[in-house]
Structure formats: structure tokens, C-alpha cells
Amino acid sequence: MTKRLPKTAFLLLFLAISTSAHAGDDMELIQHMGTMQYMAHKAGLAIDSRNQPLASFYMHEIEEVIEKLKTVESYDGYPIASLVQSKLMPSFEKLEQAVTAVDWEDADSQFEKLLASCNTCHQATEHSFIRVRRTTANPFMQSFDPQR
Ligand code: HEC
């Protein structure tokens, strides 16, 4: 009995910590990340296809996720809102300008930089094992070609 007690106490402590780490804002964060990956993938495919209206559409969708992320004050002690502002916003805005200007060469390199800034934040939040990378594969039942 005396041997068992510390184990039980440890288990209860572990449960308390793991439950609180995945409540509220944290659940929202993972959903926002999934949406952002999806929208960024599609933005990349639209850029590959030189489809300006479609690329702008997905940039707007990413921006909506960014607005939501700016309301996530903290996650595991990391200041998400301010990290988004300092790490993601600069590269997002440059990509947005390139897409608006229909400068595909610039958009290509700014898109790579956007993904690099996603990964910079993953590193800053102890999630360096989440590495986003560009892919030109289109797994969607959707055409990214410009309309004729
Ligand atoms: C504010 C820092 C930050 C920025 C900026 C950021 N992430 Fe994340 N990302 C995180 C954290 C923290 C997690 C882990 C969330 C969790 O454990 O619930 C995560 C998780 C993820 C995941 C795993 C979720 C899943 O559905 O598989 C993906 C994918 C992801 N991010 C993609 C991106 C993409 C794409 C960008 C850039 C467009 C980005 N992230 C920008 C902090 C960030």
C-alpha cells in the first residue's frame, strides 16, 4: 500500500497536466493549423498554375486563419498571437503583395519564405518535428488552371 500510493499520485498528476494541456485554446490551435496547411497548399498550387484570382482567394482564407490565431493568447506558455505577428505576418504580407502584383517569380520565392516562417514558429514552440514543405502534387478534385 505504501508502495502504491506514490504511483497513484503520479498518475493523477500526469492526468491533470495532460488534460489541461489539451483544453480550450489548444484544441482551436491545432484546428487552425490544419486549416492553414490546407489553404496554404491550395495557394501554392494556384501560384504554380499562375492563377491570380484563385491565389488571391486562398491568400484571403489564410488571412482569416491568421486573424483567429491572433486571438490565441497562449499555448503551453507560448505567446501565439505575438509569434504570429513577428514570425508569420512579415512573410505573409510580402507574398500577398507579390500575388496582388501578379509577380509570379517573386510569389514563388515568397511562398517558400512563408513556409520557412511556419517552421520557424514550430521550432520556437517546441514543435520542430512539424516541418511543412512545398509540394506541387494536386490531390484535390479541383482544377487550379486559370479560366479561359
Ligand atoms: C505561432 C507559431 C506558429 C506559426 C506561425 C505556425 N504554426 Fe503550425 N503549429 C504551431 C504549434 C504550437 C502547433 C502544435 C499545436 C498543438 O500541439 O496543438 C502547430 C501545428 C501545426 C500542424 C500540425 C497539425 C496538423 O493538422 O497536422 C501543421 C500541419 C501546421 N502547424 C502547419 C502550419 C503552417 C502551414 C503554418 C504557416 C502557414 C504554420 N503552421 C504556422 C505553431 C505555429
Report pLDDT digits (tens) over 96-120. Answer: 999 999 999 999 999 999 999 999 9
The whole-chain average pLDDT of the chain stands at 89
- In the three-class reduction of DSSP (H, G, I as helix; E, B as strand; rest coil), residue 75 is classed as strand
Find the angle CA(81)-CA(53)-CA(41) to the nearest 5 degrees: 50
The residue whose CB lies within 8 Å of the most ligand 1 atoms, and thus the one to mutate among 31, 32, 33, 63, is: 33
Ligand 1 centroid–CA 24 distance in Å is 16
Give the position, in ligand 1's atom list, of the atom nearest the Cα of 22. Answer: 18
Distance (angstroms) between ligand 1 centre and the Cα of 11 equals 29
From the CA of 18, how far away is ligand 1's center (Å)?
A: 19
Predicted pLDDT at 20: 44
Determine the pLDDT at residue 5. 60
Exposed e or buried b per residue across 87-118, where buried means at least 16 C-beta atoms within 10 angstroms of its C-beta: bbeebbebbbebbeeeebeebbebbeebbebb
Strand, coil or helix: 78: strand
Q: Of 14-18, 31-35, 90-94, which range is least confident?
A: 14-18
Please indicate whether residue 83, judged by its CB atom, sits closer than 6 Å to ligand 1.
yes
Q: Is 139 exposed, middle or buried (0-12, 13-18, 19+ CB in 10 A)?
A: exposed
Q: How far is the CA of 116 from the centre of ligand 1 (A)?
A: 12
Confidence of residue 9 (pLDDT cuts 50, 70, 90): low
Walk me through the domains of the chain, giving residue ranges and CATH numbers: 25-124 (1.20.120.290)
Cα–Cα distance measured from residue 67 to residue 69, given in angstroms and rounded to the nearest whole number: 5
Q: Does position 19 have pLDDT exceeding 50, yes or no?
A: no
Each residue of 22-54: pLDDT tens digit? Answer: 445 567 899 999 999 999 999 999 999 999 999
